[in-house]
Chain A
Amino acid sequence: MLKARVIPCLDVKDGRVVKGVNFVDLVDAGDPVEAAKAYDAAGADELCFLDITASHENRDTIFDVVRRTAEACFMPLTVGGGVRKVEDIRKLLVAGADKVSINTAAVKNPGFIREAAEKFGAQCIVVSIDAKQVNAPGEPERFEIFTHGGREATGIDAVAFARSAVELGAGELLVTSMDRDGTRLGFNLALTRAIADAVPVPVIASGGVGTLDHLVEGVREGHATAVLAASIFHFGTHTIREAKTHMARAGIPMRLDA
């Protein structure tokens, strides 16, 4: 039976983990490769790097991080952030990424999704959707895509965009509720479910995880097949194993052999 996935996500800037990772036994908590190895050993089902390097001259640092991670970890790795050209994808895949997530570029130019999927196969193209719930209370649910870290509204309906992204070749969607991101109040389950029910491809729920029950809700109520979280793992609030055991106890099929 296919298992639900737990995916820790690391923000990487200039080749270093932002905010650090609070594991007791890390030699260098700021080294993404050290963190990746720890998550690999802890039984994470996949790993996600989000490159938030701003300066152009440091953009290449992520390739070295991916290369060193692929040498040390035998688990699937998704890399996103700043992916704008086919060449960016090629370089990340050659460095050792298994999947590449594209975000703003897909919103600006949906044809990029098709180009990427045709070139590398749908299985490695993740389209990342950052959305906020924009309807007033009592109105029908409506979700809008936001870009630039949730600062810029686009007027684009998130569910319609999700459908078209999949038609263009996205093999998976990473759905982040920007109104929940960082709040620890749990996923926006209405958003996750609206998109998961609208597309045939797997959906990763993201944004807002504060407790292990939130992970359970993401799968059970949000209909996601994978859940992504950052701070609850990085700050050592919970281990990957605790998360997976908790989800398994709630009746969700999990991989517990790692």
Chain B
Amino acid sequence: MLIAIIDYGSGNLRSAQKAFERAAHAHARKPQVRVTADPDVVARADKVVLPGVGAFADCRRGLAAVDGMSEALLEAVETKARPFFGICVGMQLMAARGLEFETTQGFGWIPGDVTAIMPDDPALKIPHMGWNTIRLTREHPLFAGIETGDDGLHAYFVHSYHLKAADPAHVVATADYGGPITAVVSRDNMVGTQFHPEKSQRLGLALIANFLDWAP
């Protein structure tokens, strides 16, 4: 099994790589993890991971700048239905549109917009930065065996925008930050987390392990 982590110049891929390698090492099938900017590797990968930090439009442009990468990604995820994991801005790119600084088209896998977080308590700081618990709005195989809810494990968030899904059925989990923040979205073979599983210690490593097992 080959896991491709797409490298399009979006910051720190090292911790994502190490977290996936650790989970892969503990996995019975010993999947191979590759950080790659090569569309051919993405095209033949069994599973695809799209990290991303920074601004929505920057990430979209960065991805477009890698020749053939967007096409390879869309083919792997849409046509071949390979399991896909978007992280942070990589998750936000699953939306129809991003509204950070300028309006930018996303992949359109999850209808809805990426908009600024507006906590109902003005004392709450933006970015939403740090450890928060998440609440599942429905069952999902990626959360099998993971304790969630107010007394559950924590996930590490750093973001000022979040994906407001048009269809609540696409939201798997929310975090509370002066109102619900979209934490996890999923549809068919696609899943995305607003938080950073590679920085979320136990919860993150368990989630990645479940992704390696996931056969949507």
Contacts and interface: CB of A to CB of B under 8 A. Distances in A.
Nearest to A71: B18
A111 B14 CA distance: 28
Contacts of B55: 121
Interface stretch (B24-32, B67-75, B77-85, B154-162): B154-162
Contact of A70 (B15, B132, B175, B177): B15
B133 interface: yes
B199 A2 contact: no
B131 A93 contact: no
A1 B199 contact: no
B118 interface: no
A105 B126 CA distance: 24
Interface string A22-49: 0000000000000000001000010000
A255 B126 contact: no
Given A76-B199, A121-B55, A1 B15 contact: no
A226 B196 CA distance: 19
B107 to A, nearest CB: 20
Nearest to B52: A121
B158 A2 contact: no
Given A70-B18, A123-B160, A258-B202, A1 B127 contact: no
Contacts of A172: 127, 129
Interface string A1-13: 1111100000000
B130 A2 contact: yes
Contacts of B200: 74
A250 interface: no
Interface stretch (A95-103, A175-183, A228-236): A95-103
B204 interface: yes
A40 B200 CA distance: 11
A124 B11 contact: yes
Contacts of B127: 122-123, 171-172, 201-202
Given A93-B11, A95-B14, A123-B53, A3 B132 contact: yes
A98 B160 CA distance: 16
A87 interface: no
Interface in B116-151: 124-133, 147, 150
Contact of B201 (A75, A93, A94): A75
Interface string B174-199: 01110000000000000000001011
B37 interface: no
B12 A94 contact: yes
Nearest to A223: B123
Contacts of A3: 130-132, 154
Nearest to B129: A202
Contacts of A71: 14, 18
A75 B19 CA distance: 11
B131 A2 contact: yes
Interface in A132-186: 171-172
B130 A74 contact: no
A123 B129 contact: yes
B12 A96 contact: yes
B19 to A, nearest CB: 6
Contact of A67 (B14, B126, B152, B202): B14
A225 interface: yes
22 contacts: A1-B132, A2-B128, A2-B157, A5-B131, A40-B201, A74-B205, A96-B18, A98-B158, A120-B53, A120-B54, A121-B53, A123-B129, A124-B53, A171-B129, A171-B160, A172-B127, A201-B125, A203-B125, A257-B153, A257-B154, A258-B154, A258-B202
The 8 residue pairs across chains A and B that have the minimum distance between CB atoms: A121-B54, A96-B14, A255-B131, A202-B125, A123-B158, A255-B154, A2-B132, A3-B131
Given A1-B133, A2-B128, 16 more contacts: A3-B130, A5-B130, A45-B131, A74-B205, A94-B14, A98-B12, A120-B11, A121-B58, A123-B53, A124-B158, A200-B125, A201-B125, A202-B129, A202-B130, A257-B153, A258-B154
